[in-house]
Structure 1
């Protein structure tokens, strides 16, 4: 598939023209210059041609733009794209000379974008844990094949190839994808990329994090004593609801009816309902009131925060404790307090295998499941 033509790079402080996809009638978003913090303002307008966007920006910079003028613009059909882009380049060169702007800097490499992003995210006195810093650094090191490449020239296949070639476990690949997302978000605000290609990258390797070590009863008691710690709070929510960490991102939280709904990864895991255990209901209410969701950070940041928590509380960390240990804790609690096996499978999103009766004909009401999950006791 041929790539879209590469348009001239706009000077710093000129604004930006973003391509939003061919499915749109007007796929080019025209934005004023970013603010002092690098945040892009809302679009001035949307147009069907890059050159129209450039004309709008030029008028905007000159103070002659009027809302709706883009609808009256016509690009001569006889003009070639090469001629139009040459004209745009000359106009921008004139703009730079009039403004006394030095010739534009060379395009940023992946490493240069990372270094700028890293300095922005982790300034002196930042609030992030050492574990979060380490996983960010490790993710960058695992992208070595991209380090010297021009960031703007990268495409999703380049990012995907680097991810596919990484021999590390699923959790490490998640860190790489998270780094991709954060770097593109930062680069977008600096006009260092034309599109967020990270959103098309997927982990193709089988998830190898299904193993885990459940928390012991005395460890759960320590977590409850430290429930004011936000990381401990989230760990307890997972321990008493059993979802995978990735599932909390898009999870529906119904506080009125007191249940979670969502799921992913497997057919059995999709669209499942889990009642909110009464012990964690106040925790879920607090997080929803504060953040509007249960997990306000990325998976990799939470993994790093959890590792820091485990070390601070003095829990054994060999093998390394992960959010999946919380899911194993929920399964262990269900067994300990005699939650019906079929309901445990339903709530955890496990398949029923050859049990056709439960797989096809097993239907349970929310209150039936609530009676089962409330069997689990919290021993402080």
Structure 2
């Protein structure tokens, strides 16, 4: 059937194309000053693989007209505009780095106009990404934030990121198993292999794996043996953690003012969590055991509890909120208290049989 006057048109372009069908609208007329003959001007709404999809795009436009120039704004364009505003609001660079890492895996849709993206595109990019569940969840969060920005600025009129849920395997925190003393002792004998130093660093500081990766060299104080780092919670962000005497040689060996991070990858750049996790598994295989990267933190906390470290000092060191008002508001401790608390950590002697860890300490 012929389309109504002023409705727009759909036609197929010549040659072999992935999206040969063009939907367009009349944008006005040009009149030849000599002949007086008018020539119609068009604005393209988009290009589509089938005639039906082009007609649907034309129908969508007519039911809800928008600035056609906006239709050419790609996923990559929106990321550029959104990130410039959003990253400026962050207190530190840690969250920005995680979103930048997630964005790298969205390359298949970089050049796709934001208005043309659908749930299948977004879900497909996540499903096809060869990364862990944490990064896939971050990709979903990135989509949510970008669509919120695009809706606010009238770039899209529908939030497709809200139409699917990224399912992540639920962690059973009660199954966290701390390293045995004998396993930590094996790690010391294996220091030169892979990321063993980073694992030892974790079991003597209590930093989360992601926090270890983000420790910046400029925040390592070799004169007073302390490190500023941490993220995830208000209590955990940029906390000061004493460097245990046992791992001072490790920190010294990795300290390089020319590197941004204390534990960079081979290219001197930020090591991603997926890179670390793969190398962590190789170390576990070498010593003949099975653990997750997060269990190094559980080991520190379990050891601290075993040696009766002050509970509020422990919470401050590992970045958990202190709920004791007297302690949080009115008590001012000397830094030597924290150094003394960390010095309690020891993995000498026979193995200790730990019970399961409370989820509070994850």
TM-score, structure 2 normalization: 0.51
2:112 aligned residue (145, 149, 153): 153
TM superposition shift of 1:337? 2.4
Partner deviation per Cα, 1:104-162 (whole Å, 9 max, x = no partner): xxxxxxxxxxxxxxxxxxxxxxxxxxxxxxxxxxx9xxx9xx89x65421759979953
Q: Please give the alpha-carbon distance, in whole angstroms, between the structure 1 residues aligned to 2:121 and 2:316.
A: 34
Unaligned runs of 5+ in 1: 8-16, 25-138, 182-202
Partner of 2:241: 274
1:361 aligns with 2:355: no
Q: Structure 2 vs 1, CA of residues 334 and 272 (structure 1 numbering), >3 Å: closer, same or farther?
A: same
1:338 is displaced (CA, Å) by: 2.5
Structure 2 Cα separation of the partners of residues 307 and 22 of structure 1: 36
Give 1 or 2: higher strand fraction: 2
In 2, Cα distance between the equivalents of 1:207 and 1:255?
A: 39
1:285-324 alignment to 2 at 5 Å? 285-289=252-256, 291-296=259-264, 297-315=271-289, 317=290, 321-324=291-294
Q: Counterparts in 2 of 1:1-380, with a 5 A limit?
A: 4=70, 6=72, 21=81, 150-153=109-112, 161-162=122-123, 172-174=133-135, 208=171, 212-251=176-215, 252-289=219-256, 291-296=259-264, 297-315=271-289, 317=290, 321-353=291-323, 355-379=324-348
Q: Tell me the residue number matched to 1:200.
A: none
Rounded to whole Å, the distance in 2 between the matches of 1:23 and 1:150 is 17
Q: Contact 1:272–1:347 (CA<8 Å) still a contact in 2?
A: yes
1:362 is displaced (CA, Å) by: 3.5
Q: 1:247 offset after TM fit, Å?
A: 1.6
- Number of paired residues? 224
Partner of 1:152, secondary structure, is coil
Q: 1:261 to 1:359 in 2, by over 3 A?
A: same
Measured at CA, do residues 22 and 362 of structure 1 come closer, stay the same or move farther in structure 2, by a change above 3 Å? same
Q: Distance in 2 between matches of 1:229 and 1:23?
A: 38
Bigger radius of gyration, 1 or 2? 2
Q: Which structure 2 segments of 5+ residues have no match? A: 1-65, 85-101, 143-165, 265-270, 350-362
CA distance in 2, matches of 1:306, 1:23: 32
